Structure 1
Amino acid sequence: MSAVRTEQHGVVAEVVLNRPEKLNAFNDDLFDAYERTLADLATDDSVSVVIVRGEGRAFSVGWDVGKQPSADREDSGYHQRIAHADWLRLRPQLRAFTAVFEFPKPVVAAVHGFCMGGATLIPNCSDLAVVGNDTKIGWPVLPIGGGMLGPVSSYAIGSKKARELSYTAGSFMMGPEAAQRGFANYSVPEQDVLSKARELAYEVSKTPRDMLEIKKRAANDVLNRQGFRDTLEVCATWDALIHTSAGNEHMSQTLAELGIKAARQWYAEGGSIPQPAEAAAGSSID
């Protein structure tokens, strides 16, 4: 089964994330298929508008965290070496998640069920988005990594809300709040997400394709003058840097030792907060 499939309805093409058994979590196969599909549609003169959606119960839960990169922790140059390797690993992932921004034609994200972690970058970078009233748009449940989502989201939902979501592990917005804050154009009943996205895409497609491409470039130009493209470029750098922090290392080790369910409970109960003796040991007064 292909990780991504394409459906075409007149001049509107639908890119369908197709790992429903994994809630459309992105792995290497899905990243590659997704980028190839968008590249093909970019030069297809029969397509004016694209809808991106997920098969099954969710739009996407973001990265597939089933396999984590390893490193030799005995190497004295561990942090410097892994930061560069991590940066190289993250750049193509970021490129895939944000590809809809550079795509020359309007993209409508049809978001239902769950849209978590890195997957939030797709509706953030799409031209238009429709979300379900019961759709959960969320940040990672544990503070591991986190240099991408907040900076990109600030353009759509404002700096204060983006910081709140970024600083607070497990935070989320439901569909109505996402639409009210500008993350999406519409929040509709869950079963109506795709029909509303198709209605919107059809209305957009009435504008001649060459005019749509110019309009998109003009709209993107405004965001780029505000620094959006530079923000996309630097996101992988911040994420790679945060992966070298002592706090992130501690969280990762705890997750590995306890497993996701127990680690979430540990975090919810304040297990990550330094105790007074630990805090005193790490402080000094001149």
Structure 2
Amino acid sequence: MSQYQAFEVELDGNIAHVRINRPEKVNAMNAAFWTEIIDIFRWIDETDAVRAVVISGAGKHFSAGIDLMLLASVANEMGKDVGRNARLLRRKILQMQDSFNAVDRCRKPVLAAVQGYCLGGAIDLIAACDMRYAAEDAQFSIKEIDMGMAADVGTLQRLPRIIGDGMLREMAYTGRMVGAEEARAIGLVNRVYPDHEALLAGVMGIAREIAGKSPIAIGGTKQMIGYMRDHRVDDGLEYVATWNAAMLQSADLRVAMTAHMTKNTPQFLD
């Protein structure tokens, strides 16, 4: 795999393991992070051998969010003119949003494995993933409120659909820490594992199960779920009918049906 400054990426069978790799900085999201994640997910999207993705963090923590040094560098670019400053900041924010949009729009399922701190921008990241899992020591916080700002890279837009409006508001207004068990109770994470080792083993196991399914069926399922976030039920039914008019002609359907009838494990092409 290519070398990255902020990440370690490896292909384990059909699973791309994307690890934030700045443990000495609590995996804070520096300038390289925001550009590299776009390149990584472009590669994932274009590589048929990848059928599922696991995002994790090296060391004791998933991520402490945006690197304060990056914020300082942006502040240094600002001048005296309010209009030009606003244009600069808006451009920077939209660029950072694109980084997590790349995760959200990925055609492959993305699973987040969280241990330790998951703060600020890290919440934005996991909100863009398909599923989230946690070790018992995981702690979640929408920390931007304590920095005197509103979260602006996806948390406030994506999280209401995951944990509900009221709980999002409580977390966003207070910035309080939410532990792993509470995160599971409110639907922020699907499962809680006793430690980091068990977390990675469990999440990789789920990813392998997904990778064993028809990639045509998985891709279609993700596309339909994403479409329904912004459309009526009738629109979604119309869309899936048109989609499956093509996709049901895939050889994967015959492979899956034959395997089911013969009680064998299906083997799908990439």
Matched, 1:127 2:130: yes
- 1:116: which partner in 2? 119
Q: Secondary structure at the match of 1:142?
A: helix
- 1:176: which partner in 2? 181
What does 1:176-255 correspond to in 2, within 5 Å? 176-191=181-196, 192-225=198-231
Mark the CA change 1:155 to 1:195 in structure 2 (over 3 Å): closer, same or farther: same
Q: How many residues align?
A: 221
Q: TM-score, normalised by structure 2?
A: 0.77
Q: Which amino acid aligns with 1:208?
A: S
Residue 48 (structure 1) shift: 0.5
Residue 214 (structure 1) shift: 0.6
- 2:268: which partner in 1? none
Distance across 1 between alignment mates of 2:211 and 2:23:
29
- 2:267: which partner in 1? none
Could you tell me whether the CA contact under 8 Å between 1:109 and 1:130 is conserved in 2?
yes
Runs of 4+ in structure 1 deviating by more than 4 angstroms, as ranges, are: none
Distance across 2 between alignment mates of 1:43 and 1:146:
34
Distance across 1 between alignment mates of 2:60 and 2:32:
20
Matched, 1:142 2:146: yes
- 1:103: which partner in 2? 106
Q: Which amino acid aligns with 1:206?
A: G
Matched, 1:164 2:170: yes
Could you tell me whether the CA contact under 8 Å between 1:97 and 1:119 is conserved in 2?
no
Q: Which amino acid aligns with 1:186?
A: R
Q: Secondary structure at the match of 1:25?
A: coil
Could you tell me whether the CA contact under 8 Å between 2:120 and 2:151 is conserved in 1?
no
What does 1:8-157 correspond to in 2, within 5 Å? 8-67=11-70, 68=72, 69-70=75-76, 71-72=78-79, 75=80, 77-78=81-82, 80-140=83-143, 142-148=146-152, 149-157=155-163
Q: Which moved more, 1:36-45 or 1:143-152?
A: 143-152
- 1:263: which partner in 2? none
Residue 210 (structure 1) shift: 1.4
Could you tell me whether the CA contact under 8 Å between 1:150 and 1:165 is conserved in 2?
no
Residue 93 (structure 1) shift: 1.0
Gaps of 5+ in 2: 233-270
Distance across 2 between alignment mates of 1:32 and 1:143:
24
Gaps of 5+ in 1: 227-286
Q: TM-score, normalised by structure 1?
A: 0.73
Q: Which amino acid aligns with 1:142?
A: D
Superposed CA RMSD in Å reads 1.7
| Aligned-pair identity (%) | 25
Residue 92 (structure 1) shift: 1.3
Instruction: Map Cα deviations across residues 147-200 of structure 1 (whole Å, 9 max, x no partner).
Output: 4333432111111111111111x3121111112211111111123211111111
Distance across 2 between alignment mates of 1:93 and 1:216:
23
Residue 26 (structure 1) shift: 0.9
- 2:248: which partner in 1? none
